[in-house]
Structure 1
Amino acid sequence: MARHGAELLPDELTAELRRGFESYLNSLRFERGLSMNSIDAYARDLARYGTWLTGEGIGRLGEVERSSVEAYGLHLLDSGLAPRSRARALVAVRRFHTFALSENLAPTDPASEVSPPQEGLRLPKALSLDEIEAMLATAEGEEPVQIRAKALLELLYATGARISEAVGTDLDDLDLDSGLVRLYGKGGKERIVPFGSHAAQAVGAWVSRVRPGMAAKAKSSAPAGALFLNARGTRLSRVSAWQIVKNAAEAATIDAEVSPHTFRHSFATHLLEGGADIRVVQELLGHASVTTTQIYTKVSEETLREVYATSHPRAR
């Protein structure tokens, strides 16, 4: 029996995404009894979402994170769709992820806490350089956890790495002498990203002075090759790394909500404000499409408007 609506899905979808979408469309037809027109509408929304995921290098449902769904919401704002169509498209995504979790097609529901982005809030929040430096200053000290925190924070800001990429980095991926790190992004895509002297010094202190002691605590005879380790000598988890960022933001008394992705936003925004070419920033961030990177050009434009409005004598 033909799966109604499935013919609207794009050919470039991975097998896992296609199976997930088709299962959901079947449930709409046979369990909820929706009309063919409604199912087609859902199929078109899922097709749009699947195309975007593919462009971002995401081919497995387990790779979709909350930040991914939020980024897709921002993408919809710039898609030219009418507000009602954008809202419907995001609802379709949220309902699909709820279904995928309930059917054990995915380990989590990354869309459960994502709300439709407001027109006035479409730009990602970036920290100022003063705020970044205030967070880095909270990790100054000689305690092992402080040295590890400083290394992680410096590397996140220096490279724009996703938190999953940072904790997934191995020692073999790091070249402190050349100031280069190999990051593995979504879909296993590899990229080489440079970092500066501040990050090199912080990461070097962690690798030479603290990491060996933590690695010695690992129960296995061969310690993990992970760059960042926890107190048990095993790879630092994403949750623990996120907590390090949160603790630094609280210690620096930053009012705005700060996450590891905020460092990524700040990295991109500060590069563009400093005159970096958008294609270079795209490569550094590991974006499959420059359209995603263009979000940050809007951040820079907003900054320019603010500076102009407060500085030019005839701006008002």
Structure 2
Amino acid sequence: MAARKTSESRIDLRLVRAELPPEAGALVDQYERHLGLERGLSEHTVRAYVGDIVSLLGFLHGVPNENGRNPDSRTALQGLDTAALRAWLAELHAGGASRTTLARRSAAARTFTAWARRQGALDSDPGARLVAPRTHRPLPAVLRTDEAGSVLKASSAGAVQLDPEALRDHAVLELLYATGVRVSELCGLDLGDVDLGSRVVRVLGKGGKERVVPFGVPADKALRSWLDEGRPALVESASKPHATALFLGIRGGRLDPRAVRRVVHEAVGSVPGAADMGPHGLRHTAATHLLEGGADLRSVQELLGHATLATTQLYTHVTVERLKAIHDRAHPRAR
């Protein structure tokens, strides 16, 4: 099993994929279709999963090996066992891969080998015996309640002039903070996904899973202003406006996640002392403030669209200060 000596940039992995033996290349193509069509994963997630598997198969088949040539006597997954998986991870570790990267690669390998076993490409599942390295998950940066209020207050002040972009940006910020939706989910919203009467939004999340998320009065007001004053103005000025998208870019197309990231960075950056963050930081902030306000983990999990409660538990650190305060007030030996 030849050790790969090249770095694993995206360009390198494309070259590796092109040089895989035909059987392995066909299996990668089949797995990619499975991820995108059957599991409904996002383009970004599919690209990451496939890149990890190309890395694994490139290692397994010695692409590239020291002579720059592929072994031609192997079938697609011949030699793929737990020892090979561990050797692949060891090589990545020796190349400087972080514990987080190794954990992600381990998870990708386990998902792939389980699928390959179901497809009959493997007689057994070697990934089931692969233990991923434990990762240290840093606590996400979040805004304090007063900082979030300052961000939205400044944003609303900009929208007073009824500038279409300012109205849109304020509605975007209010909805991100009110619902904790992902930036891709926000940009994918259509006009029909918003029920202003009930103050809920229907979101299509990861894996094509749909959920309904409520929002409050400030977000409702911001959305109504955008729909009444801002969106019509952008539609009128655009040559080919998007017919159904809730949020539009300056040229009338569906709002791009990069534009939302810019909006959030600029808005948060206007508040002195606030941690720099993008849309995902507002998602963290929304979850944190929900828990601080007394929401239970299961409810927050449903609102955020987390597949497992373990992901939502990342936010439980915020309850520590609240518990300390309750302890100080209620326990006779607290002071």
TM-score range for the pair, normalised by the shorter chain length: 0.5 to 0.7
Give the corresponding residue for 1:273: 292
Q: 2:58 aligns with which of 7, 19, 27?
A: 27
Give the corresponding residue for 1:90: 101
Contact 1:182 1:190 in 2 (8 A): yes
Q: SS of the residue aligned with 2:186? A: helix
The Cα of 1:123 is off from its aligned counterpart by 1.5
Give the corresponding residue for 1:130: 146
Contact 1:183 1:192 in 2 (8 A): yes
Give the corresponding residue for 1:169: 189
Contact 1:157 1:267 in 2 (8 A): yes
Q: SS of the residue aligned with 1:183? A: strand
Q: SS of the residue aligned with 2:201? A: strand
| TM-aligned CA distance change 1:282 to 1:147, over 3 Å | same
Q: Which has the higher contact order (CA 8 A, sep 6+)?
A: 1
Superposition TM-score, scaled by structure 2 size: 0.63
| TM-aligned CA distance change 1:23 to 1:135, over 3 Å | same
Say yes or no: does 1:240 pair with 2:259. Answer: yes
The Cα of 1:287 is off from its aligned counterpart by 0.5
The Cα of 1:40 is off from its aligned counterpart by 1.9
| TM-aligned CA distance change 1:150 to 1:306, over 3 Å | same
* Distance (whole Å) between structure 1 residues aligned to residue 53 and residue 277 of structure 2: 37
Contact 2:190 2:245 in 1 (8 A): yes
The Cα of 1:87 is off from its aligned counterpart by 4.5
Superposition TM-score, scaled by structure 1 size: 0.66
Letter in 2 for 1:251: S
Give the corresponding residue for 1:301: 320
| TM-aligned CA distance change 1:163 to 1:88, over 3 Å | closer
* Distance (whole Å) between structure 2 residues aligned to residue 260 and residue 190 of structure 1: 20
Give the corresponding residue for 2:84: 39
| TM-aligned CA distance change 1:290 to 1:26, over 3 Å | same
Contact 2:103 2:135 in 1 (8 A): no
Say yes or no: does 1:256 pair with 2:301. Answer: no
The Cα of 1:187 is off from its aligned counterpart by 1.9
Q: SS of the residue aligned with 1:138? A: helix
Q: Which has the larger radius of gyration?
A: 2
* Distance (whole Å) between structure 1 residues aligned to residue 154 and residue 105 of structure 2: 37
| TM-aligned CA distance change 1:43 to 1:176, over 3 Å | farther
Residue correspondence of structure 1 range 1-316 to structure 2 within 5 A: 14-15=34-35, 21-29=52-60, 30-31=62-63, 39-41=84-86, 87-88=98-99, 90-91=101-102, 93=104, 122-139=138-155, 140=157, 141-142=160-161, 143-220=163-240, 223-302=242-321, 304-305=323-324
* Distance (whole Å) between structure 2 residues aligned to residue 223 and residue 135 of structure 1: 29
The Cα of 1:232 is off from its aligned counterpart by 1.2
| TM-aligned CA distance change 1:283 to 1:138, over 3 Å | same
* Distance (whole Å) between structure 1 residues aligned to residue 215 and residue 148 of structure 2: 16
What whole-Å deviation, never above 9, does each CA across 1:156-191 have from its counterpart, x for those lacking one?
011001111111111110011110101111122111
CA RMSD of aligned residues (A): 3.8
The Cα of 1:286 is off from its aligned counterpart by 0.3
* Distance (whole Å) between structure 2 residues aligned to residue 282 and residue 315 of structure 1: 32
Contact 1:24 1:96 in 2 (8 A): no
* Distance (whole Å) between structure 1 residues aligned to residue 329 and residue 65 of structure 2: 57
Q: Relative to structure 2, which stretch is displaced further, 242-251 or 36-45?
A: 36-45
Letter in 2 for 1:285: L
The Cα of 1:303 is off from its aligned counterpart by 5.3
* Distance (whole Å) between structure 2 residues aligned to residue 183 and residue 129 of structure 1: 25
* Distance (whole Å) between structure 2 residues aligned to residue 309 and residue 168 of structure 1: 45
